[in-house]
């Protein structure tokens, strides 16, 4: 069974491809949706095309499915139209699948289930990465604000931090918000660090 | 009115004519009607369609022909959709590369003012071009793709034979122009203005000069959901009608452009969005903007009223271009997508002018006229097609025989 993954994100495509290979599929091609990608897919004559729902080129791909003479059999979206739960899970995970008509439902279903799991795993990984990035950025801002207070008000570090924390509590804000406000105010007033 | 707040999720694409939805949320019209509006930005019509059809959202900012195509089973999974409210009239443009445009009338304003002459020039320019012109369209079932077909078809161009129509998302049109992948495109604003500002293209035709009151986007919903939630639907339509009126008021255009500029919405600079709102369009980089009245209409003249005859005009074009085989059943189902009855029910107490009929002959109004209405007086503006043809929804067969009708495959 030939599977084409249309994806911009190298990492997500890799995550999906690995999963499919582990499951025993070995005829897998990753095609980034640029330029004449539709012609490439046509030549490959895949049985299944997996694509990120957020990809703006979905309309381009669907048009190919409508007009293509190269694909002998029509391709329909999602496998089992009666399986609403599965369709919902696929949309939530952000996967769309185009499948050659006549392919055995259970085989396609297992591919789609795998794609959903892998897409979700990738999204979770991405979210954790974003969270780690923003935590790092927060810490940097708090450190800068602390340094400003230590310098301008001659405070030792624990007291500078305590001042940020009490201000945040009194204003019902996050410490990082107070820190960022302080940094902005400082630069507006022409301060240097 | 009920004080319960009902959440409603709506999918949209980042285009200027998503404005009424964004305004309904941001200016509080939805909240005042007891609706908490959640807006989901999508990047393709396919994904917007899937979210609507499979119930991830309750309504969508949809190309009117796509709503009809989904209902007729022409676009993936068939589903009965309804459009009880039109979001706008017109607002699209056809832009061609400066190289292609050089073969047309040298004065860009004259091309717009004389769409008949421009269509003939366009047909002649095809033969002069170094390849079969590749023209980007946002979707097979887009309003402006049908408009392009209608306009070029008038001058003897067979769009499927003489042009290479390439489907691309609106947001990628400008990039595709830059890389030379396409020679022109037709899309909703702000994309033509963005391409002109970049010096990549000239606007050679606008939707509102092809059909003065051309149907563009609709608020589409699944018919079963609409039938099950009449109270929510009515409140949503009331909110949308107020939002659309706000969008139409020139006094609000600057604020509207600033709203749409936000990354969560259209995400293009306000100066690229304003021209379509104001109807002052720069057709070529560096040229003075040209006044194009009725370029984009959000509300006036009961623009939001879904005339069943307008759905039937779209159906006639799907038949004309071989996208669907003509049948009484398909004709009835297409007309049923435009739910003038639901519009009437929702806005009965609004004081808005309410057309007395649900069908009209399209393209017959040359100058503004008063028409039969309930409530406030209703004046309809000119709705002519550029070629002067008149669409009688009772006689689609004859209308199509007159046109050049290719056989359905």
Q: State the architecture of A132-188 in CATH terms.
A: Orthogonal Bundle (1.10)
Q: CA-CA distance, A115 to B134, in Å (whole number)?
A: 35
Sequence-distant (6+) residues with CB within 8 A of B284 are B98, B101, B108, B196, B202, B203
pLDDT at residue B14 is higher than 90: yes
Q: Taking CB atoms and an 8 Å limit, are B50 and A96 in contact across chains? A: yes
CA-wise closest residue to A34 among B13, B195, B47, B172: B172
Q: Taking CB atoms and an 8 Å limit, are B44 and A57 in contact across chains? A: yes
pLDDT at residue A70 is higher than 60: no
Chain B residues with CB-CB distance to A58 below 8 A: 44, 46-47
Q: Which residues pair with B217 in a beta bridge?
A: B63
Task: Using the CB atoms, write b or e for B235-272: b if 16+ within 10 Å.
Answer: bbbbbbbbbbbbbbeeebbeebbebbbeeebbebebeb
Chain B residues with CB-CB distance to A66 below 8 A: 140
User: How many angstroms separate the first and last alpha carbons of chain B?
Assistant: 52
3-state secondary structure of B194: helix
pTM of the model: 0.87
Mind giving me the DSSP string for B248-286? H-GGGHHHHHHHHHSTTTT-S-HHHHHHHHHTEE--STT
Cβ B68 vs Cβ B20: under 8 Å: no
Q: Which domains does chain B have, with CATH numbers?
A: 6-89+215-267+297-347 (3.40.190.10), 90-213+270-296 (3.40.190.10)
Sequence-distant (6+) residues with CB within 8 A of B402 are B389
Q: How far is A31 from chain B (nearest CA, A)?
A: 17
With pLDDT > 70 as the criterion, what percentage of chain A qualifies? 91
For tokens 């200016």, the residue is: B27
Q: CA-CA distance, B199 to B193, in Å (whole number)?
A: 10
Preferred mutation among A58, A61, A91, A96 to probe B, highest tally of B CBs within 10 A: A58
B407 band by pLDDT with thresholds 50, 70 and 90? very low
A2-127, what's its fold? D-Maltodextrin-Binding Protein; domain 2 (3.40.190)
Is the minimum CB–CB distance between A76 and chain B shorter than 8 Å? Answer: yes
pLDDT at residue B192 is higher than 60: yes
B405 band by pLDDT with thresholds 50, 70 and 90? very low
Higher pLDDT, B77 or B391: B391
Six-digit token string for B356: 């007395």
3-state secondary structure of B134: strand
Q: CA-CA distance, B153 to B389, in Å (whole number)?
A: 13
pLDDT at residue B133 is higher than 70: yes
Residue B263's pLDDT is: 95
Residues recorded for chain A? 193
For tokens 């659309």, the residue is: B244
Tell me the mean pLDDT in the region B252-277: 96
B221 band by pLDDT with thresholds 50, 70 and 90? very high
Six-digit token string for A134: 């923003």
Tell me the per-residue pLDDT of A73-105, one tens digit each, with 9 for 90 and over: 555 565 555 667 777 788 888 888 888 777 777
Cβ B190 vs Cβ B16: under 8 Å: yes
Tell me the mean pLDDT in the region A125-152: 90
DSSP state of B155: T
Chain B residues with CB-CB distance to A87 below 8 A: 54
Cβ B176 vs Cβ B225: under 8 Å: no
Residue A73's pLDDT is: 54
Residue A121's pLDDT is: 84
Chain A residues with CB-CB distance to B56 below 8 A: 88, 91-92
Domain with CATH 1.10.10.10 in chain A: 132-188
CA-wise closest residue to B246 among B20, B59, B406, B12: B20
Cβ B296 vs Cβ B276: under 8 Å: yes
Q: CA-CA distance, A151 to B284, in Å (whole number)?
A: 56
Tell me the mean pLDDT in the region B267-272: 94
For chain B, the average pLDDT equals 94
Tell me the mean pLDDT in the region B210-226: 97
pLDDT at residue A66 is higher than 80: no
Kindly report the number of other CB atoms within 10 A of residue B368's CB atom: 10
Q: CA-CA distance, B55 to A87, in Å (whole number)?
A: 10
Tell me the per-residue pLDDT of B55-92, one tens digit each, with 9 for 90 and over: 999 999 999 999 999 999 998 888 999 999 999 999 99
Q: Which residue in the set A53, A63, A76 is minimally distant from B47, CB to CB?
A: A53
pLDDT at residue B217 is higher than 50: yes
């Amino acid at each position: 069974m030939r599977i084409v993954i249309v994806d911009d994100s190298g990492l997500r495509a890799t995550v999906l491809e690995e999963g499919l290979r582990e499951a025993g599929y070995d005829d897998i091609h990753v095609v980034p949706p640029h330029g004449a990608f539709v012609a490439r897919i046509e030549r490959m004559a895949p049985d299944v095309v997996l694509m990120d729902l957020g990809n703006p080129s979905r309309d381009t791909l669907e048009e190919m499915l409508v007009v293509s003479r190269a694909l002998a059999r029509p391709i329909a979206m999602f496998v089992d139209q009666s399986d609403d739960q599965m369709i919902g899970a696929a949309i939530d995970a952000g996967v769309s699948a185009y499948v050659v008509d006549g392919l055995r439902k259970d085989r396609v279903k297992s591919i789609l289930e795998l794609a959903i799991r892998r897409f979700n795993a990738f999204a979770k990984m991405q979210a954790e990465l974003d969270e780690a990035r923003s935590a790092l950025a927060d810490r940097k801002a708090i450190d800068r604000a602390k340094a400003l207070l230590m310098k301008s008000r001659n405070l030792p570090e624990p007291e500078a931090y305590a001042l940020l924390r009490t201000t945040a509590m009194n204003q019902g804000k996050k410490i990082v918000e107070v820190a960022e406000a302080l940094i902005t105010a400082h630069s507006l007033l022409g301060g240097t660090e | 009115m009920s004080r319960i707040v009902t959440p409603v999720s709506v999918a949209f694409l980042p285009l200027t004519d998503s404005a009424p939805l964004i305004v309904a949320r941001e200016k509080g019209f939805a909240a005042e009607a007891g609706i908490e509006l959640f807006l989901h930005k999508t990047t393709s019509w396919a994904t917007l369609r899937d979210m609507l059809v499979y119930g991830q959202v309750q309504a969508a900012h949809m190309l009117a022909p796509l709503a009809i195509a989904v209902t007729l089973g022409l676009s993936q999974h068939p589903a009965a959709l309804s459009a009880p409210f039109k979001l706008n009239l017109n607002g699209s443009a056809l832009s061609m590369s400066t190289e292609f445009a050089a073969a047309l009338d040298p004065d860009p304003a004259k091309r717009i003012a004389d769409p008949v002459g421009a269509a003939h020039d366009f047909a002649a320019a095809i033969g002069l071009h170094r390849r079969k012109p590749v023209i980007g369209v946002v979707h097979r079932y887009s309003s402006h793709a049908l408009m392009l077909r209608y306009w070029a078809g008038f001058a003897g161009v067979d769009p499927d034979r003489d042009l290479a129509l390439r489907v691309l998302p609106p947001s990628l049109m400008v990039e595709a122009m830059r890389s030379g992948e396409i020679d022109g495109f037709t899309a909703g604003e702000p994309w033509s203005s963005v391409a002109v500002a970049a010096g990549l293209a000239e606007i050679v035709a606008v939707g509102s000069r092809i059909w003065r009151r051309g149907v563009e986007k609709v608020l589409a919903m699944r018919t079963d959901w609409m039938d099950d939630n009449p109270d929510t639907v009515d409140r949503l339509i009331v909110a949308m009608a107020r939002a659309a009126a706000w969008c139409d008021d020139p006094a609000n255009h600057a604020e509207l452009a600033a709203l749409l500029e936000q990354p969560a919405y259209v995400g293009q600079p306000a100066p690229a969005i304003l021209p379509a709102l104001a109807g002052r369009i720069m057709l070529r980089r560096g040229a003075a903007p040209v006044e194009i009245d009725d370029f984009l209409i959000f509300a006036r003249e009961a623009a939001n009223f879904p005339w069943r005859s307008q759905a039937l005009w779209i159906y006639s074009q799907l038949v004309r271009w071989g996208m669907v085989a003509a049948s009484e059943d398909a004709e009835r189902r297409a007309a049923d997508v435009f739910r003038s009855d639901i519009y009437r029910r929702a806005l009965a107490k609004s004081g808005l002018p309410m057309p007395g009929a649900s069908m009209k002959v399209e393209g017959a109004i040359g100058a503004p006229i008063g028409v039969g209405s309930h409530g406030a007086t209703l004046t309809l503006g000119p709705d002519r097609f550029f070629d002067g043809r008149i669409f009688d929804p009772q006689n689609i067969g004859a209308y199509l025989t007159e046109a050049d009708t290719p056989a359905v495959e």
